[in-house]
Structure 1
Amino acid sequence: MIGLWHAFVETPSMKLKIQFKVSKKANYMLDIATEPLAIPIPIESLTVDGSRLRGEAKAFWMPGQTIVVELAFEEDSVSGEMDMPGIGKLPIKGSSGRGPQLSEELADTVRLYRNPDASTRSDAEIEDLVESLLSKMSLEDKVGQLFQVPASNFSFGNAVKTDPPEKLIAEGRAGSVLGAFDVRRVFELQKIAVEQSPHRIPLLFNADIIHGAQTIFPVPLAWSCSWDPEAVKEACAIAAKEASASGTVYNHGPMVDVGRDPRWGRVVEGAGEDPYLGALFAKAQVEGFQGESLSDPETIIACLKHFIAYGAAEGGRDYNTVDISEATLRNVYLPPFQAGLEAGAASVMNAFNIYQGVPVAANQPLLVDLLRDELGFEGVLISDYGAVEEIVTHGYAEDEKEAARMAALATMDIEMATRSYEHLPQLVREGKVPEKLIDESARRILRLKYRLGLMDDPFRYVRPEKEKEYHFRDDHLKASLELARKSIVLLKNDGALPLAKEAERIALIGPFADSRDLLGPWQFSRYSHETVTLYEGLRDIGYAENQLLYAQGSGVTEAIEGGIEDALEKASHADLIVLALGESSDMSGEAASRLSIHLPEAQLRLAEAVAGLGKPVVLVLTNGRPLVLDWFHRNVNAIVETWFLGSQAGHAIAEVLTGEYNPSGKLTMSFPAHEGQVPLYYNSFRTGRPITEQNKHTKYISKYIDGPNDPLYPFGYGLSYTRFDYSELRLDRSGIAGDEKLRVTVTVTNAGRLAGEETVQLYIQDLHGSVVRPVKELKGFRKLRLEPGESQEVAFEIGRDDLAFWSPANGYAAEEGAFVAYIGTSSAETLSASFSWR
């Protein structure tokens, strides 16, 4: 019964494919996933009797209720029953293997609806066709295009009062659909639109494809630690290929918010605390998702979110107030959006927060003056989920009608989920909203539908035959593995790593030692049950099962009766302990802010007990944010930050632990020594009383009296199994003027015994200006691979653009004066040299 199994089940509302994975390491393990809804069912208790299994799991959709599954296995068949609360008892009769996809039966049908003769339209043709169509549409027809409706009654927040999507689409009261992950649902709803709606206008189908569609890649905070935008571009192109096969044409991503507060759960979706690096990853993601042209059916629309400053939410609390200066907005939070727009992003989504006291969804200075006029954005502006209606909740609008007016005047093209825009026709007739604004919004949406090819071939993205070909494909999994390797950051190592495979017994302990919860938030893969665990990764790389002494020890947030005792018993027979701790996926992401960024108490107690044995301990972390690791830094021998690495997580971690892959990741968010330091970021201002080595013992300076100012692990930090030495920092001149370029070089030497990859980082400090400038700003980096003993000279050029910033007096400009160039292995460990620009 070990292996993959599948069964097809008819429920009162749909046909389901239920997938099972049975594995056996120290104990039996049963993992269950469903299709078309990607719902993993984590079995919490499992009993085995010969070839029969009985498992129980919590029904997350009905608190307090339990799913019960009973299965009996024969050579190639499985039978039994699943009792699903709210659904009933489902008979199971299935076979071995993954089995066919549910959508395969749609393939022959949809071919009859496709238009293989459709050709790509020129921009001029599209404009003519859009104007012709608009001339035939009533005001109500045009407003109908401005609504995005959920594909089901599931809500991300407060319940939405609305008609069923089928009714809204048939009546022309919807232009796009959110969350139709099943290609059969896409076909069903698109068919209604093109056969029943007033002008037969096809729908856009939107989804959050943040770090993979079916093949899951590392979460964005993790992949940013690769410092490899090209690898991320490839990951996004693969995600687009898989998602577009299922009918998704419009992505609610990438998230390009700068994140400086690890309490904020959504730092997991971004590239960290630095605007320069964030801009590079924004560009890479847009280019990956959108490819060379949106007319290519294997690309999807990139939507930059959340415009703007969502990452500055006070207290790190999601949806909270933002109160920052215009200089901070422009110098910190805007650069990734600028880069994404320059890369051609076709859409932008508003942030939930306020700016200067006005909700962004209604903020004309931000959305019209800055985004549309100054930055030249001509694409579709979409509200975040319910954000138009929330203008009322913020206390900025009296009612939904006023909120609709405000959002329309701010050029919000699509209202997601809610129905405030139902008031727009009346507002137009009352003269409170110009009809030309409605025309412009509808025009932008229709233009996009033509660019995607939907107007000529509405079913071109309904491709069940491509789902079968692309989803979870071997080369996609290989790309996920490669990026996962690059994303791992070695935080500490006193020689415990790499592990020796020969004759070493490892106690593999902790809630993430054999867990498949390694994908992170914002993923909807139907293959979650095939995620490679850490245990499986070590086994597959060559450890015999008698070398791996496994004990869960504790749950993620709760103690397990006898768990610590079991862990200590296993660890007592081991040569080394791998302690696999972290956060569950639902502890990161949207609406997952945390007051404490320590590991949960149950895991801390487990760690203390295991470390007390006095044996070498390697901490392997699974998490979506920087954590406070001060105790671990003092009490364990090595710390490996793996984040949420995706479908191939266990293989990537095992390769790094054993030295098959020499870790090269560098942090893109600082790790505080204490959560009282938060928010903490490297590119801060100096203050009038900065702490120095000379004055750190005095009182009246900017410091804490009970701890350090500095992070435990700074931005740009990451160790290797070799050592890189920096020397001979040289400038080719002491100063430059105008458009001249200054060349700065440094010699980097691999002073260790292993080949390795280093990320050489360039920072610049503007020593004085018309406004105070950060102590250091990343302005470039180079990745190089060196053999043992090999040296290489690395060169950077510095010019006017690298020195420019925004100030209230001068706008975007470089200012004459003195500067310092820093080059090193992290933001905190550098060589430096001074120069001037005039």
Structure 2
Amino acid sequence: MKKNNQAKVKISKIVLLFTFSVGVITAQNTSTMDKKVNALIQKMTLEEKVGQLNLATFVNENNTTNSLSEMIKRGEIGSILKSNGAEKNLQLQKIAVEQSRLGIPIMFQEDVIHGYKTIFPSPLGEAAGWNLETIEKSASIAAKEASASGIHLTYAPMVDISNDPRWGRIVEGAGEDPFYASLVASARVKGFQGNDLASGQNVMACVKHFAGYGAALAGRDYNIADFSERTLREIYLPPFRAAINSGVGSVMAAYSAYDGIPATANQKLLKDILRKELGFNGMLITDWETVRNLVKIGTAANEKEAVLQSINAGVDVDMTSGLFLKHIKELVQEGKINVDVIDQAVKRVLIAKYKLGLFDDPYRFFDLKREKETLMNAEHLEFARKAARECMVLLKNENQLLPLNKNIKKIAVIGPLANRKKDLLSWWGGNYSQWKPEEVVSILDGLKKSVDSSVEIKYAEGVKLDGFEAKGLELIPEAVKLALESDVVILVVGEEFSMSGEAGSISNINLPGAQEELVNAIAKIGKPLVTVLLNGRPFDIQNVNTKSNAVLEAWQPGTMGGLAVADILLGKYNPSGKLTVSFPRNTGQIPIYYNYKRTSHDVNETNKTVRWTNKYLDIPTTPLFPFGYGLSYTEFSYSNLKLSSSAINPNQSVNVSVEVSNTGKADGEEVIQLYVGDDVSSVARPAKELKEYAKISLKKGEKKTVNFILTPTDFSFYNKEMKWVLEPGSFSIMIGASSADIKFTEKLSIQ
């Protein structure tokens, strides 16, 4: 601590420079900030300007002239990623501040996706809790821990909409619905950034990947994407707009292309839509080496041309390729890039550093004592347990097997994931180089810690899970024997943490390895069977659902996942999660999502003799589990749907109310969902779209009236000319417990 305190005092050149020529600014005084940033830019050489646009990855020092520290001294690095820890980053920051000519501080960046040291449920899972306050607070805790370890910016939230579970990065988003995903995007931005980026307790958010990255063809990461402008505007842009409206500080361009032009070089996407239309004026970052990728894609003949294309498209910061550093000076000298363009990019980078308070105190984020006190403290761990409980979705509960009867004395815990720890963390589960097994509570450990001392718990692996090949079949007999000796079986199956996430594409969504064989063998003996799923994406769980008496979707629940699962199985918490992504019946149904547009041949699932409909001949067109679905240990009834008016004009709003009662035997929470359908419109529209929801708690026997207000925006859409309009006509207002469980429908006329 003594060394760190001395560092805070000895700010040397950076304080002198900015006190004399730039001064101390506040984020609230934009005009003053602009003037002072401009004054600093005038002092910079072209090489120093380009250095601010260079985002380097941390590597071990090799004592050469091109080592990280030497590049920092020369002003060739503006930001660093993959460098973690207050002590390490303090040393690098001191080089930048005290040994470079202008003393401009470094911005440290990292993938803090759903937790830094305390790991929360993966984003797809967390979204299933439908609790924006929880989502915001988990991001806030992640920011506190990351900032305490010397991180200034996180590459989150990812807001890509996806309806293809083959795509591994579906785990990182909020599901298939743009309205709900927009609310989640806003909550996460607010959580990361807080009210004061310069507090040292928050980090700048970077919303990604702009735009349409979730449309990767065939679910293959980094693959081509092909979608219309209508799809861009209706599906992919809304969460970005929400993040920008919430003040997100940076945006990351996608690997993929829009309309045949890679995002990194797409002027329409980055300049016309992102900058002008959406009004984003912050820092625009490439993804990993996407400038160099322009050559691989074939839209640039060489690396120099790739730099020119990306700069002309409005990119500010080059992540890891080093090509800005290599080619921009020459392009300026050749007159192909105007130095004013470089100045604007540098200005956006410097403003980001100002907002983080780095010019005021470049060492604020490097407090070793705070780092030790903050990471995985008791408050954070308890909240991680809460967040994990909320997001778990009860998919099946035959004969109310759950919560487990208190008379049960022998529990068999079986499955290759039951005693795993790392697999609870998900692909982006913090910094794995610092990960310790004792920090995570497995499902087996969570149950052992939670049951009464009189309950006997025994464990069997069942099969091996190591990749996609069937391994460990010889272990099944031991698991069957254990199951026969028990009162109930808890079977834990799913996927390893590395199977989903970036580059985690799969060709089919069957459970990997020999897990299906294990399910079949355990189910055959007839013992009560509870299956717990640990996964980052929807799987084909038709067989699991058929063979199990109860199914709990636990996602990849994070550090405290084992205790959260135990809380639900033992009845200490009543599950309240609802799916934010549809579960297909099999791979052949992909893509499947709830907000399909109407077609000319409506599906007729009940009349099997009708052939000429938009259906499959071999399976239903409906998902196994629809968007918005989730069970509880209690029952809810809906009644008395009312509209404040059956007809309004285009400038009016309408109040929608419904009464919800807890008619079961336990206290619980319900997610009431309001959908709108445009009965007749000038372009094809979805049959229903989520427009509002409310998550309420009800004690057993309690009734509440839930009110929603629908505004003209909720009935508007992009017309033939891609103009945002409200067309008069008839609309269906639907209230339900899921997208497929609509309780009431009322008609509204807009005149």
TM-score, normalization by structure 2:
0.94
Tell me the distance in 1 between the aligned counterparts of 2:167 and 2:500.
8
CA deviations 1:587-645 (Å, max 9, x no partner) are 11100011111111311111111111111110000000011111111111010000011
Match of 1:211 among 89, 114, 117: 114
In 1, the alpha carbon distance for the partners of 2:25 and 2:198 equals 7
Q: Match for residue 241 of structure 1?
A: 144
* Partner residue in 1 for 2:95: 192
- After superposition, residues 63-142 of structure 1 pair within 5 angstroms as 107=4, 110-113=7-10, 121=26, 122-142=29-49
Q: Which runs of 5+ in 1 are unaligned?
A: 1-103, 155-160
Q: Percent identity?
A: 43
Q: Aligned partner of 2:253: which letter?
A: N
Equivalence for 1:832:
745
CA gap of 1:612–1:361, structure 2 versus 1, over 3 A, is same
**Superposed CA offset, 1:144-171 (max 9, x none):** 11000001279xxxxxx99432232122
CA gap 1:389/1:163 in 2 versus in 1, 3 angstroms = farther
- Secondary structure of the equivalent of 1:822? strand
Q: Are positions 1:786 and 2:698 aligned together?
A: yes
- Separation in 1 of the partners of 2:602 and 2:115? 44
Match of 1:424 among 303, 308, 328: 328
Note closer, same or farther for the CA distance 1:359–1:696 as it changes in structure 2 (3 Å cut): farther
Task: From the superposition, tell whether residues 521 and 464 of structure 1 become closer, same or farther in structure 2 (CA, over 3 Å).
Answer: same
Equivalent of 2:458, from 549, 559, 563?
549
Question: How far 1:731 sits from its partner (Å)?
Answer: 2.2
Secondary structure of 1:338's aligned partner = helix
What is the CA-CA distance between 1:755 and the residue it aligns to? 0.9
Tell me the equivalent position of 1:611. 523
* Alignment check: 8 A CA contact 1:327 1:808 kept: no
Change (3 A) 1:531 1:789: same
User: 2:519, 2:547 within 8 Å by CA — same for their partners in 1?
Assistant: no
Cross-structure match for 1:540: 449
Aligned AA (1:235):
S
Q: Per-residue CA shift, 1:220-248, capped at 9, x if unaligned?
A: 10110011111111111111111011110
Q: Higher helix share goes to which structure? A: 2
- Of 339, 363, 369, 2:242 maps to 339
- Structure 2 distance, partners of 1:486, 1:203, is 38
Distance 1:572 1:695, change over 3 A: closer
Does the 8 A contact of 1:162 with 1:419 survive in 2?
no
Amino acid in structure 2 at the alignment position of 1:836: S
Distance change in 2, residues 1:327/1:544 (3 Å): same
**One-letter identity of the residue aligned with 2:403:** P
Secondary structure (helix, strand or coil) at the match of 1:833 reads strand
1:718-757 aligned at under 5 Å gives the runs 718-757=630-669
Matched position secondary structure for 2:380: helix
- Quote the Cα distance in structure 1 between the aligned partners of 2:50 and 2:645: 61
1:326 and 2:239 correspond: no
CA distance in 2, matches of 1:335, 1:149: 31
The alpha-carbon distance between structure 1 residues 793 and 441, as it changes in their structure 2 partners (threshold 3 A), is same
One-letter amino acid of the counterpart of residue 689, structure 1: H
Residue 527 (structure 1) shift? 5.0
Say whether the 8 Å CA contact 2:473–2:514 is kept in structure 1. Answer: no
Structure 1 residues 545 and 515: alpha-carbon distance in aligned structure 2, compared to 1, 3 A threshold: farther
User: Which residue of 256, 260, 266 corresponds with 1:357?
Assistant: 260
Is 2:540 the partner of 1:639? Answer: no
SS of the counterpart of 1:522? coil
Residues 243/106 of structure 1: CA separation in 2 closer, same or farther (3 Å cut): farther
Shift of 1:808: 3.8
- Whether the 8 Å contact between 2:733 and 2:745 is mirrored in structure 1 is yes
Residues 696-729 of structure 1 show CA distances to partners (whole Å, capped at 9, x for unaligned) of 5311211111111000000000000011112222
2:491 is the alignment partner of 1:586: no
8 Å CA contact 1:491–1:638 kept in 2: the answer is yes
Query: How large is the Cα RMSD of the aligned pairs?
Result: 1.9
1:393 and 1:667 mapped to 2: Cα distance? 38
Deviations 1:392-448 (A, max 9, x none): 111111111111001001110000000221211111222212211100000111111
Which position in structure 1 is the counterpart of 2:426? 520
Q: 2:566 aligns with which of 620, 632, 654?
A: 654
- Which residue in the other structure is 1:449 paired with? 353
CA contact (8 A) 2:213 2:254 kept: yes
Q: Which amino acid aligns with 1:670?
A: S
**Cα distance change on mapping 1:374 and 1:585 into 2, 3 Å:** same
Q: 1:308·1:334 contact (CA, 8 Å) conserved in 2?
A: yes
C-alpha distance after superposition, 1:273-322 (max 9, x if no partner): 00000000110011111110212111110111000000011101101111
Q: How many residues are matched?
A: 729
Letter in 2 for 1:456: D
Q: What secondary structure, in the 3-state scheme, does the structure 2 residue paired with 1:302 have?
A: strand
Does the CA contact (< 8 Å) of 1:126 and 1:451 recur in 2? no
2:80 aligned with 1:177: yes
Contact 2:8/2:364 (<8 A) preserved:
no
Deviations 1:670-705 (A, max 9, x none): 000111000111011121112035655311211111
Which position in structure 1 is the counterpart of 2:174?
271
SS at match of 2:190: helix
Please report how far the alpha carbon of residue 503 of structure 1 lies from its aligned counterpart in structure 2 after TM superposition: 4.0
CA distance in 2, matches of 1:449, 1:329: 31
Equivalent residue for 1:166, pick from 61, 65, 69? 69
**One-letter amino acid of the structure 2 residue matched with residue 485 of structure 1:** R
User: Distance in 2 between the 1:119 and 1:470 partners?
Assistant: 29
Between the aligned partners of 1:405 and 1:515, the Cα distance in structure 2 is 48
Give the Cα separation in 1 of the matches to 2:647 and 2:65: 65
Displacement of 1:733:
2.3
Aligned twin of 2:313: 410
Q: Are the equivalent residues in 2 in contact too, given 1:107–1:465 (CA < 8 A)?
A: no
Out of 699, 705, 708, the residue aligned to residue 796 of structure 1 is: 708
CA distance in structure 2 between the partners assigned to 1:428 and 1:767 by the alignment: 56
In structure 1, how many angstroms separate the alpha carbons of the residues matched to 2:153 and 2:424? 26
Deviation (angstroms), 1:836: 1.5
- Matches of 1:561 and 1:263 in 2, distance apart? 26
CA distance in 2, matches of 1:586, 1:792: 44
Alignment match, 1:437: 341
Whether the 8 Å contact between 1:120 and 1:295 is mirrored in structure 2 is no
Q: Which amino acid aligns with 2:241?
A: Q
Distance of 1:472 and 1:275 partners within structure 2: 33
Q: Is the 8 A contact 1:221 1:271 kept in 2?
A: yes
Find the partner of 2:485 among 564, 573, 576: 573
The one-letter code sitting in structure 1 at the alignment partner of 2:377 is R
Aligned equivalent of 1:563, options 475, 498, 521: 475
**2:738 maps to 1:822:** no
Question: Aligned equivalents of 2:394 and 2:11: distance in 1?
Answer: 51
Answer yes or no: is 1:491 the counterpart of 2:395. Answer: yes
Partner SS, residue 601 of structure 2: coil
C-alpha distance in structure 2 between counterparts of 1:113 and 1:624, whole Å: 47
Asked whether the 8 Å contact 1:428–1:435 carries over to 2, the reply is yes
CA distance in 2, matches of 1:163, 1:396: 30
| Match status 1:252 vs 2:252 | no
Deviation by residue 1:754-813 (Cα, 9 ceiling, x = unmatched) = 111000000001122121001110000011111222222222222211111223425111
- Return closer, same or farther for 1:119/1:198 CA change in 2, 3 Å cut-off: closer
Tell me which amino acid in the other structure corresponds to 2:441: V
Partner Cα distance (1:662, 1:457) in 2: 47
